[in-house]
Structure 1
Amino acid sequence: MDFAPPPYTAPDFSLPSLATAPNATLVPAPKDFVAPENYHAMSIYPEYLKIDGEWVLARDSRMDCVAVVEDGAVFVREFRHIRAGDLIACGRTENGEEGILVYTEGFRSLAAAENGAPHPGGHDNFAFRLGRSRETAFSRDYDELYELLRHERDHGFIVWVMGPAFTFNGFSRDAFAKIVDAGYADAVFAGNALATHDLEGAYFHTSLGQDIETQENRPNGHYHHLDTINRVRYWGSIERFIQEEGVHDGIMEALVRNNVPYVLAGSIRDDGPLPGVFGNAYDAQDAMRDHIRSATTVICMATMLHTIATGNMTPSYRVLPDGTIRPVYFYCVDIAEFAVNKLVDRGSLASRGIVTNVQDFIANIAKGLGLLG
């Protein structure tokens, strides 16, 4: 059966508690970057403000931000983007009492699920193996993910969030490149390390000096990632390096060749960094959120820092251009159970964790999509 997102059930605004609710209180921001006292902090869920007697949905949300009302529309902004005089919704209740409704029942078929999948214990309050661990069977997750990705390639926007572990194995690099070539990637978030070691793999056939096929250490291999960074900096950009050095394989080459946008967010531990890496964390956040505003499926793999950052800026829903409201599917894939369950705990109705080696995961995805022999 072809995948289809569950329908959205809007709130019943004819209920007395909502029909008679007051308009939301809007208070001007006292100065740039500062919200008024008693501001309302947004969540990942659909949220409505009552404005001039009408309930208005924030079409795009992000947790721990504020709701700014302009010309009857609700915009969700980070504190660093607040400007003096912005009309900001205030109130700390969420059921309409102050003209603010945080709505968690929109996707009812998902609301009854555990981590996005049918609750293994049925309706029992006590049951074994309800969490996500190394003992969890993930076959069903894979089957559903194959169908989801096929749907999203034609009807959605797929964001991959990637740690450098992919680059340590030639097969996983090739598998993800095939996923990109087949149209299953609309944007990629990563750090300096993934791009560096992937390009090192193309340039030296090593990752951190270790052969990406045999895992044997090469003489002076510990120079390879630095030599790669140095050469990319010589050419001035990743794109120019790929062109001038004749790079023809790997993740970054596939992204560049297919014009898939990527955001490389730097960290305090980076070597180099490569040209194009964001050194300012807030500029990186803004660049990531530009793509998250379109995302309908997000798959985070082997990078706790980038995964949590992406999770914090991803709402549980998306308003499509035609006004349709659909869920955003969020996956966290990691060998560490803590990393997986950290994101499952974020509260998204569509969040799902898979505990596995990411090289094996991406190979399974490519095979399941029919991209590998």
Structure 2
Amino acid sequence: MSWSMPVYTAPDFTKEPFVHAPDVTLVPAPTDGGAPDQYHSMSIFPEYFKINGHWLLAEESRMDCVPVYDGQKIRIVEFRNLKKGDLVVIGRKECGEEGIYVHVDGFLTEEEKHKDTFVFRTGRSRETSYSKDYDSIYELLRHEKAHGKVVWILGPACAFDADSRKAFSDLVRNGYVNGLMAGNALATHDLEAAYLGTALGQDIYTQKLAPLGHYNHLDTINKVRQYGSIHSFIEQEHIDNGIIAACDQCHVPLVLAGSIRDDGPLPEVIGNVYQAQDAMRAMISDATTIICMATMLHSIATGNMFPSYRMVDGVVRPTYFYCVDISEFAVNKLRDRGSLSVDSIVTNVQDFIVNVRNNLCC
């Protein structure tokens, strides 16, 4: 059976409990950065709010944020971005009793709605069969290349191997990457590989350690800082390979979020955590598919910002969120943090990205 986009089934608001449900209660925020008591907190699912007798969908959502009515639509706002007087939705019942409805099964097929209660092997582990997942990813990315936006979140392991660097670069150059988010380490080690042939001083193909190789990533950062930007470094040093160079040359936007342990860092790394969070949310605000590889903290952060749906040209469609990691702990922790719609693949990310490239670009 060929892949197709699931169809969204909205609630039937002509029936109960919706018809006689009350309007939501709206209470002004008492202060900048603070919500009123009994505020409603958002989930990853489509949520509707009854205002002036009409059910409004929050079109751009984010988990653990609060819904604000601006007189026309529902905006979803981080607590830190609330302004005194913002009209915040109050209520913690989610089946219409308080004018709030969380729609959890809008994309379920009839088969999924009537699946068996007791089944084996519903989790995602190293024993899971991932053949269908790979096939679905290939078809999804072909669809998204023409109709969506794919953002990738990469950990430094993706830059430690010559084949995985080449594979991801090929995906960039073939139009399967619309945005890249990472930390200082991914960009540093990828540029080190292009500049000096090593990642953390180890040859990216032979794995041999270079003499004084522990200086290589620092020398790379220092050289980029001397040039003032990654783009200038790539141009002036004639860098023609790797993940970051492909993004730079194909005008794929980057968000590099810093951490407390960063060396350097590279000039483009955002050191303020809330500015980095804002930049990440801006990049994924219209994303329809996200693929996270070998970066637990960035994956969890992104998952907390990414809803299970997106409004595109007036139509609600599902979003797709994959987490690829060799650690079962990492992918399960992501689900434990509320990202229930994530599809996890427990495997070596270097093998994963080569397989994806081989099926899409060859």
Please state which band the TM-score falls in when normalised by the shorter chain: over 0.9
Pairing of 1:247-258 with structure 2 (within 5 A): 247-258=239-250
In the alignment, does 2:281 pair up with 1:277? no
In the alignment, does 2:67 pair up with 1:76? no
| 1:108 maps to amino acid | L
1:237 aligns to what? 229
1:57 aligns to what? 57
Would you say the 8 A contact 1:111–1:349 is kept in 2?
no
1:117 aligns to what? none
Would you say the 8 A contact 2:27–2:36 is kept in 1?
yes
Question: Take 1:157 and 1:55, find their aligned partners in 2: how far apart are those partners?
Answer: 28
Q: 1:166 aligns with which of 125, 136, 158?
A: 158
| 1:357 maps to amino acid | N
Note the alpha carbon deviations across 1:148-184, whole angstroms, 9 max, x for none: 0000000010010100001110110000000000000
Question: Take 2:310 and 2:123, find their aligned partners in 1: how far apart are those partners?
Answer: 27
| 1:365 maps to amino acid | V
Pairing of 1:100-139 with structure 2 (within 5 A): 100-109=100-109, 112=112, 123-139=115-131
Question: Take 1:157 and 1:365, find their aligned partners in 2: how far apart are those partners?
Answer: 17
**What TM-score, normalized by structure 1, do the two folds share?**
0.94
The alpha-carbon deviation at position 105 of structure 1 amounts to: 1.6
1:352 aligns to what? 343
Question: Take 2:344 and 2:110, find their aligned partners in 1: how far apart are those partners?
Answer: 15
The alpha-carbon deviation at position 14 of structure 1 amounts to: 1.3
SS in 1 for 2:350: helix
Q: 1:154 aligns with which of 138, 146, 150?
A: 146
Would you say the 8 A contact 1:67–1:89 is kept in 2?
yes
Note the alpha carbon deviations across 1:7-48, whole angstroms, 9 max, x for none: 110101112321111111111111100001110001111111
Question: Take 1:132 and 1:103, find their aligned partners in 2: how far apart are those partners?
Answer: 25
**CA distance 1:137–1:100, change in 2 (3 Å):** same
**CA distance 1:305–1:184, change in 2 (3 Å):** same
Would you say the 8 A contact 2:300–2:337 is kept in 1?
no
Note the alpha carbon deviations across 1:220-278, whole angstroms, 9 max, x for none: 00000000000000000001100011100000000000100110000001100000101
The alpha-carbon deviation at position 368 of structure 1 amounts to: 1.3
1:219 aligns to what? 211
Would you say the 8 A contact 2:304–2:339 is kept in 1?
no
| 2:128 maps to amino acid | T
The alpha-carbon deviation at position 346 of structure 1 amounts to: 5.1
Question: Take 2:336 and 2:145, find their aligned partners in 1: how far apart are those partners?
Answer: 28
Q: 1:323 aligns with which of 311, 314, 321?
A: 314
Question: Take 2:339 and 2:104, find their aligned partners in 1: how far apart are those partners?
Answer: 10
Question: Take 1:83 and 1:2, find their aligned partners in 2: how far apart are those partners?
Answer: 48
Question: Take 1:150 and 1:349, find their aligned partners in 2: how far apart are those partners?
Answer: 24
**What TM-score, normalized by structure 2, do the two folds share?**
0.97
| 1:247 maps to amino acid | I
Note the alpha carbon deviations across 1:263-320, whole angstroms, 9 max, x for none: 0000001100000101011111111111211111110000000000000000000001
1:145 aligns to what? 137
Q: 1:200 aligns with which of 192, 196, 217?
A: 192
Question: Take 1:303 and 1:200, find their aligned partners in 2: how far apart are those partners?
Answer: 19
Q: 2:323 aligns with which of 332, 337, 348?
A: 332
2:35 aligns to what? 35
- Pairwise CA RMSD of aligned residues? 1.5
**CA distance 1:186–1:350, change in 2 (3 Å):** same
Question: Take 1:176 and 1:182, find their aligned partners in 2: how far apart are those partners?
Answer: 10
Task: Figure out how many residues of one structure are paired with residues of the other and give that number.
Answer: 362
SS in 1 for 2:18: helix
Question: Take 2:358 and 2:36, find their aligned partners in 1: how far apart are those partners?
Answer: 52
**CA distance 1:69–1:111, change in 2 (3 Å):** farther
Would you say the 8 A contact 1:327–1:350 is kept in 2?
no
Question: Take 1:67 and 1:152, find their aligned partners in 2: how far apart are those partners?
Answer: 29
Q: Return 359-368 or 102-111, whichever deviates more.
A: 102-111
| 1:208 maps to amino acid | L
Question: Take 1:274 and 1:55, find their aligned partners in 2: how far apart are those partners?
Answer: 47
Would you say the 8 A contact 1:105–1:111 is kept in 2?
no
